[in-house]
Amino acid sequence: MVSKVAIIYYSMYGHVGQLARAIKKGVESVGLKGDLYQIPETLPKDVLEKMHAPGQDPNVPLATMETMEEYEAFLFGMPTRYGNQSAQVRAFWDRTGQLWVKGSLHQKLAGVFFSTASVGGGQEMTAANFISTLAHHGMVYVPLGYFNTFSQFTSLTEVRGGSAWGSGTLAGGDGSRQPSKVELELAEIQGKTFAELAKRVQPKAEDK
């Protein structure tokens, strides 16, 4: 069975990073290892300083093409840019050409989680657009769904991010809003349910 999950994310202001840690908790709650990786930054340091971005977490390693080959299951986190992946995430995937040629990611599992500034800010569209990339690599998209999240997703008592496509958070227009308790709960559920499926999958290296 799959024994570990790579949680690969880009987080400019830390919102997606918080979701990633909650997802890791969910993955590990069912006995799998959850490994955090960051997608490399593409913006110059002076630009990030002008944007008041704190920089990447020095305790989380950067994802590489070797990371993509090593794992059989992935959860990818990203901020949304106009209903699509951020440039940093896109640049990372644009480097996977050789993996595509070799079929290195074929039949590997993948899910997605995200952040937007606002309700209706493009979380579901980001997931839908991201599936195109997964499809070209032959990867198997695993949604969050409603089976384990029905009460959270049908409750109208508070504003929250996420949907059946994947967990998510709302950062606000100025980025000041932090992930809520229910958003982190949904992220943990995503990690748990994704890992439960991954445990039932036979890695390609073990295929007969």
How many folded domains does the chain comprise? Answer: 1
Looking at residue 174, its pLDDT comes to: 81
What is the value of pTM for the model shown?
0.94
CB 95 within 8 A of CB 65: yes
Q: Which domain holds residue 11?
A: 4-206
Contact 175, 124 (CB under 8 A): no
Q: What is the CATH number of the domain that holds 128?
A: 3.40.50.360
- The pLDDT value given to residue 128: 95
Q: Which helix (H) or strand (E) holds 49?
A: helix 45-50
Residue 84 is given by DSSP the state E
Q: Give, for all 208 residues of the chain, the pLDDT tens digit.
A: 899 999 999 999 899 999 999 999 999 999 999 999 999 999 989 998 888 888 899 999 999 999 999 999 999 999 999 999 999 999 999 999 999 999 999 999 999 999 998 988 889 999 999 999 999 999 999 999 999 999 999 998 888 999 999 999 999 888 888 999 999 999 999 999 999 999 998 776 555 4
Tokens of 37: 């990786």
Q: Show contacts of 196-199: CB within 8 Å, 24+ apart.
A: 196/30, 197/109, 197/142, 198/1, 198/2, 198/5, 198/32, 198/72, 198/73, 198/109, 199/1, 199/2, 199/30, 199/31, 199/32
DSSP state of 147: T
Q: Identify the burial level of 107 via C-beta atoms within 10 angstroms of its C-beta, where 0-12 means exposed, 13-18 middle and 19 or more buried.
A: middle
pLDDT for 201: 86
